[in-house]
């Protein structure tokens, strides 16, 4: 087989001073105009779709809004659904800011959940003030480990992070099957659903809304951890030298290298940090919502996270709003299905449209701005 | 654990069955990436192939129409990807992700609206099996593997045809040239965009054939998300097979074998230890990571893979 010899930008055996990074495609000008527009377009498309399939779009959207915000309870549930999206959204966004595409937030979240679930059930009798920090550290460390693998392979072997993250997402699903169905973490009495042993009381995040205010609310202290994570994300990227270097690598790895910043090292670092955020998200789900790790829980947070990060323009506040919007979709969608008889999967269609419009926007902008610019990365 | 569980004739038959949809997705991936366009929406193309194939077969009671509509559905989804990534030069990963989510949402939504909770009808026409008499003579495995769905045999033919096409024909050479160095290809008069469109559309149709195989050939029904990531395993097989059709088939067979083992080894023990069959599921992904990292062979993508191309002098 003859191949035209041109240096591959990724792949093994390619000696390069610095691995290439994704160009900052998604760092468009300030302002919420484009994200809002993409949501509006997506909602219109969704409405047209409902209409075409013989249903009433106004009824559908009314039910969606009613379901997401109709009662105080629903509002707290929407927030509960948004929490993991905030953390995985940050995991995607911080990598984007460094020029990497982290499709692996899903897997990182699961590893964090497994690590936290293991630690929480390993020492169930420890008091909260001791056990809780342990569980948090395990969650973050688990995710950071899984993200770090991606960064390491990228930095050392030039492996495209898109490939590794997709593969690792699926790998952990099967490892999880093993751990929870017939492995060391399998609970003896899980009532048919494969799950881990319940975590100790000290590892449970408390409900922060008392029953007198919102009856049966599930809003847990994880919301505070998520808020803290948003602040840390902002502070880290925009108020520390490390954040400056990460963003410099994202804006141009070669220029950063010229300025004495080692892109490879920062890629390993940022993927570990990204994984840490996602892992914390997994820990919060285990400690705040389920109390144990269920096999196959959280099947789509990681993919929603990409939409959240892109819609939120990889910025702290943007991510919060986007996560709340998607949280509303998730919680409201269930109500829509049961009360308006319209499949909650309408929500997925709307989300896909949001993503597609955003992708199209980035490139319409690219047509005008980046002409003559040569992208440097090959994606396999 | 018995030897039968590892190398029984039925394990090989299952391997062939399980490898087929993966191989079709991998063929699709190989065709599109050889032309320089990444298409992670193969999973989505496969899924719409599954679903719309079933819908069409149900409505027309014709498996031929079902197959045609399945291919068309996969092709249409791929067309969206082609438009976004070739004409609009969008980020190919974001576009692909969006289309995967769209495919899952769309099929699940329509499945709920059309078939509710009862599921697809039981009297769906099926893609017939094809008994290859001459294979029955093969010792040991002959009887087990000679009876397969027609699409299995079609897939094997496609592998050979596409291998010859890519590496032994002029158009195949052009195809690869566009994926390696589009500028040079265009300089000698090759229509880069047109060829890339053809490649992406072909990939969607191939993946959708894999989807139709799952729903009309094997399951005779549609269930939500029934592709279960096979499109992504196909991408893994493409990489592990080093972007060649024959390699993709070989990789798919390895992955399919792992898959077959996880069924046949169910409940098996070595000494007192239960075989962790679930871990066999990680095989495709771990092997692929090792291959891309250069620990198992070397796997190099086409040089211009995933890069948007802008025509010289494009206004």
| Cross-chain residue pair B236–A367, CB shorter than 8 Å | no
For chain B, report the end-to-end CA distance as a whole number of angstroms: 67
A49 CB-near residues (< 8 Å, 6+ apart): A346, A349
* CB burial string B57-90: b at 16+ within 10 A, e below: bbeeeebeebbebbbbbbbbbbebbbebbbebbb
Q: Does domain B3-128+151-292 have CATH number 3.90.1690?
A: no
Per-residue pLDDT of A212-264, as tens digits, reads 888 889 999 999 999 999 999 999 999 999 999 999 999 988 999 999 999 99
Q: Which two tokens stand for residue A55?
A: 């249903």
Q: Is the pLDDT of residue A371 over 60?
A: no
Tokens coding A340: 């308006």
| A353 close to B (CB below 8 A) | yes
The whole-angstrom separation of Cα A187 and Cα A204 is: 18
> What is the spatial distance between Cα A213 and Cα A211, in angstroms, rounded to a whole number?
5
Residues 195-254 of A with CB under 8 A from B: none
pLDDT for residue B304:
87
Touching check for A27 and chain B: CB below 8 Å? no
Residue A258 near chain B (CB below 8 Å)? no
pLDDT tens per residue, range A54-109:
889 999 999 999 999 999 999 999 999 999 999 999 999 999 999 999 999 999 99
Say whether residue A159 is in contact with chain B using an 8 A CB cutoff: yes
Report the chain A residue with the minimal C-alpha distance to residue B312. A372
Which residues lie across from B269 on neighbouring strands? B274
Q: Indicate yes or no: CB of A159 within 8 angstroms of CB of B232.
A: no
Using pLDDT thresholds of 50, 70 and 90, give the confidence band for residue A207: very high
**How many CB atoms neighbour CB B184 within 10 A?**
14
- CA B304 to chain A, closest CA, distance in angstroms equals 6
Delimit the domains of chain A by residue range. 33-361
For A180, which residue in chain B has the nearest alpha carbon? B278
pLDDT at B228: 85
* pLDDT at site A285: 95
The answer on pLDDT for A21 being more than 70 is no
3-state DSSP call for residue A262?
coil
Instruction: Note the maximum CA span of chain B.
Output: 71
Residue A131: helix, strand or coil by DSSP? helix
Q: What is the DSSP string of A323-374?
A: HHHHHHHHHHHHHHHHHH---TTHHHHHHHHHHHHHHHHHHHHHHHH-TT--
Minimal C-alpha gap between B146 and chain A (Å): 32
Q: Hey, are the CB atoms on B91 and A343 less than 8 Å from each other? A: no
ipTM: 0.86
Is residue A117 within 8 Å of residue A292, measured between CB atoms? yes
Q: What is the pLDDT along chain B (315 residues), one digit of tens a residue?
A: 677 788 788 888 899 999 999 999 999 999 999 999 999 999 999 999 999 999 999 999 999 999 999 999 999 999 999 999 998 888 888 899 889 989 998 999 899 888 887 888 888 888 988 888 777 777 777 777 788 899 999 999 999 999 999 999 999 999 999 999 999 999 999 999 999 999 999 999 999 999 999 999 999 999 998 998 899 999 989 988 999 999 999 999 999 998 888 888 877 788 777 778 888 888 888 888 888 888 766 667 888 888 888 776 543
Most confident segment among A288-292, A303-307, B46-50, B237-241? B46-50
Torsion of CA A180, A183, A189, A192, to 10 degrees: 50
Contact B181 A10 (CB under 8 A): no
Burial of B183 by CB count in 10 Å (0-12 exposed, 13-18 middle, 19+ buried)? middle
CB contact under 8 A, B308 and A163: no
CA distances (Å), origin A117, targets A124, A130, A291, B182: 11, 15, 8, 50
Helix (H) or strand (E) holding A26: none
Helix axes B9-34, B192-212, angle to 10 degrees: 160
Partner B contacted by A330 (CB < 8 A): no
- Which among A12, A114, A354, A364 is the top mutation candidate for probing chain B, defined by the most B β-carbons within 10 Å of its own β-carbon? A12
Cβ pair B90:A53 closer than 8 A = no
Contact B289 A175 (CB under 8 A): no
Q: What CA–CA distance (Å, rounded) separates A139 from A110?
A: 9
Please state, in angstroms and rounded to a whole number, the distance separating the CA atoms of residues B74 and B106. 13
State the smallest CA–CA distance between residue A310 and chain B in angstroms.
9
CA distances from B212 to A175, B51, B89, B145, B159 (A): 29, 8, 30, 21, 18
Answer whether residue A366 shows pLDDT above 60. Answer: no
Q: Which of residues 41-100 of A touch B (CB under 8 A)?
A: 53-55
Measure in Å the smallest separation between the Cα of B118 and chain A Cα atoms: 14
* Phi (first) and psi of residue A124, to 5 degrees: -70, -20
The ranges assigned to domains in chain B are 3-128+151-292
SS3 of chain B: the string is CCHHHHHCHHHHHHHHHHHHHHHHHHHHHHHHHHCCCCCCCHHHHHHHHHHHHHHHHHHHCCHHHHHHHHHHHHHHHHHHHHHHHHHCCCCHHHHHHHHHHHHHHHHHHHHHHHHCCCCCCCCCCCCCEEECHHHHCCCCCHHHHHEEEHHHHHHHHHHHHHHHHHHHCHHHHHHHHHHHCHHHHHHCCCCHHHHHHHHHHHHHHHHHHHHHHHHHHHHCCCCCCCCCCHHHHHHHHHHHCCCCHHHHHHHHHHHHHHHHHHHHCCCCEECCEECCHHHHCCHHHHHHHHHHCCCCCCCCCCCCCCCCCCCCCCC
Q: Select the residue of A11, A303, A349 nearest B301 (Cβ to Cβ).
A: A11
Q: Which CATH class is domain A33-361?
A: mainly alpha
The pLDDT of residue A375 is: 38
Q: Which of B292, B296, B297, B298 to mutate to test the interface with A (most CBs of A within 10 A)?
A: B292
**pLDDT on residue A12:** 39
Chain B residues whose beta carbon lies within 8 Å of the beta carbon of residue A342: 113
The interface residues of chain A toward chain B in range 277-316, judged by CB-CB distance below 8 A, are: 303, 306-307, 310
With left for phi above 0 and alpha for psi between -120 and 50, is residue A192 left, alpha or beta?
left
pLDDT of residue A185: 87
Structure tokens at B218: 């094997």
Give the 3-state secondary structure of residue A220: strand
pLDDT of residue A41: 87
CA atoms within 13 A on the CB side of B153: 14
Nearest Cα neighbor of B42 from B206, B166, B178 is B206
- Note the pLDDT of residue B301: 83
| Cβ neighbours around A127 below 10 Å, total | 10
Question: Which residue, A205, A180, A219, A198, is CA-closest to A291?
Answer: A198
Question: Could you identify the residue written with the tokens 């590496």?
Answer: B167
Which has the closest alpha carbon to B21: B251, B210, B203?
B210
Q: Report the alpha-carbon angle A284-A285-A286, nearest 5.
A: 90
Phi, psi (deg, nearest 5) at residue A354: -55, -50
- φ, ψ for residue B131, nearest 5 deg: -90, 115
Q: Do A352 and B98 touch (CB under 8 A)?
A: yes
Cβ(B228)–Cβ(B180) below 8 Å: no
Contact B285/A167, CB-based, under 8 Å?
Answer: yes
Q: What is the mean pLDDT of chain A?
A: 85
Distance from CA of A312 to the nearest CA of B (A): 15
User: CA separation (Å) from B71 to A99, B53, B74?
Assistant: 36, 8, 5
Q: Which helix (H) or strand (E) holds A95?
A: helix A72-97
Query: Scanning every residue of chain A, which has its alpha carbon at the shortest distance from the alpha carbon of B231?
Result: A166
With beta carbons less than 8 A apart as the criterion, state whether A59 and A340 touch: yes
Please check whether residue A379 is in contact with residue B104, taking contact to mean a CB–CB distance below 8 angstroms: no
Instruction: Enter the tokens of residue A235.
Output: 């502070």
Output the pTM of the full model.
0.87
**Adjacent-strand bridge partners of B130:** B148
A334 at interface of B, judged by CB pairs closer than 8 A = no
- Beta bridge partners, A220, equal A207
């Amino acid at each position: 087989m003859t191949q035209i010899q041109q240096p591959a930008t990724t792949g093994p055996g390619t000696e390069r001073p610095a691995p290439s990074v994704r160009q900052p495609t998604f760092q468009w000008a300030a302002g919420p105009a484009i994200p809002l527009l993409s949501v509006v377009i997506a909602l219109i498309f969704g409405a047209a779709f409902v209409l075409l399939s013989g249903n009433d779009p106004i009824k559908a959207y009314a039910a969606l809004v009613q379901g997401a915000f109709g009662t105080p309870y629903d509002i707290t549930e929407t927030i509960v659904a948004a929490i993991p999206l905030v953390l995985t959204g940050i995991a995607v966004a911080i990598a984007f800011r460094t020029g990497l595409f982290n499709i692996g937030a899903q897997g990182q979240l699961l590893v964090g959940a497994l690590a936290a679930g293991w630690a929480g059930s390993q020492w169930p009798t420890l008091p909260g003030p001791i056990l809780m920090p342990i569980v948090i550290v395990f969650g973050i460390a688990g995710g950071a480990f899984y993200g770090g693998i991606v960064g390491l392979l990228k930095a050392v072997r030039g492996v495209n992070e898109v490939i590794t993250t997709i593969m690792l997402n699926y790998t952990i699903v099967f490892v999880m099957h093993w751990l929870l169905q017939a492995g060391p973490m399998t609970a003896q009495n899980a009532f048919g659903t494969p799950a881990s042993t319940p975590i100790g009381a000290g590892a449970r995040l408390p409900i922060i809304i008392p029953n007198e205010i919102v009856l049966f609310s599930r809003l847990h202290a994880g919301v505070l951890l998520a808020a803290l994570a948003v602040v840390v994300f902002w502070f880290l990227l925009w108020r520390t030298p490390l954040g400056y270097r990460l963003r410099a690598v994202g804006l141009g790895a070669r220029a950063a290298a010229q300025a004495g910043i080692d892109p490879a090292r920062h890629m390993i670092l940022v993927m570990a940090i990204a994984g840490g955020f996602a892992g914390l998200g997994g820990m919060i789900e285990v400690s705040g919502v389920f109390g144990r790790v269920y096999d196959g829980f959280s099947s789509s947070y990681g993919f929603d996270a990409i939409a959240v990060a892109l819609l939120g323009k990889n910025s702290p506040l943007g991510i919060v709003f986007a996560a709340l919007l998607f949280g509303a979709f998730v919680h409201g969608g269930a109500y829509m299905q049961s009360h308006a008889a319209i499949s909650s999967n309408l929500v997925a269609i709307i989300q896909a449209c949001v993503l597609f419009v955003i992708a199209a926007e980035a490139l319409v902008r690219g047509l005008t701005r980046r002409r003559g610019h040569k992208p440097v990365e090959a994606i396999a | 654990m018995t030897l039968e569980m590892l190398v029984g004739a039925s394990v090989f038959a299952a391997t062939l069955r399980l490898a087929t949809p993966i191989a079709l997705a991998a063929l699709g991936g190989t065709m599109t990436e050889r032309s320089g366009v990444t298409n992670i929406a193969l999973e989505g193309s496969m899924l719409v192939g599954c679903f719309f194939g079933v819908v069409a077969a149900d409505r027309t009671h014709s498996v031929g129409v079902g197959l045609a509509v399945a291919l068309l559905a996969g092709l249409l989804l791929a067309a969206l990807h082609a438009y976004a990534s070739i004409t609009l030069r969008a980020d190919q990963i974001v576009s692909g992700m969006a289309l995967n989510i769209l495919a899952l949402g769309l099929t699940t939504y329509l499945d709920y609206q059309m078939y509710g909770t009862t599921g697809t009808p039981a009297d769906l026409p099926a893609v017939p099996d094809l008994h290859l008499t001459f294979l029955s003579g093969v010792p040991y495995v002959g009887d087990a593997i000679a009876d397969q769905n027609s699409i299995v045999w079609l897939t094997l033919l496609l592998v050979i045809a596409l291998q010859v096409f890519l590496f032994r024909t002029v158009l195949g050479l052009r195809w690869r040239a566009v994926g390696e160095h589009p500028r040079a290809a265009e300089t000698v008069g090759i229509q880069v965009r047109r060829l890339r469109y053809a490649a992406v559309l072909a990939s969607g149709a191939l993946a959708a054939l894999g989807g139709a195989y799952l729903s009309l050939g094997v399951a005779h029904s549609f269930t939500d998300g029934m592709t279960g990531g096979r499109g992504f395993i196909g991408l893994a097989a493409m990489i592990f097979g080093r972007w060649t059709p024959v390699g993709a088939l070989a990789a798919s067979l390895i992955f399919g074998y792992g898959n077959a083992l996880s069924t046949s080894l169910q409940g098996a023990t070595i000494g007192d230890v239960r075989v962790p069959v679930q871990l066999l599921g990680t095989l495709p992904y771990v092997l692929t990571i090792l291959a891309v990292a250069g620990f198992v062979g070397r796997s190099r993508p086409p040089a211009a893979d995933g890069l948007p191309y802008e025509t010289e002098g494009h206004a």
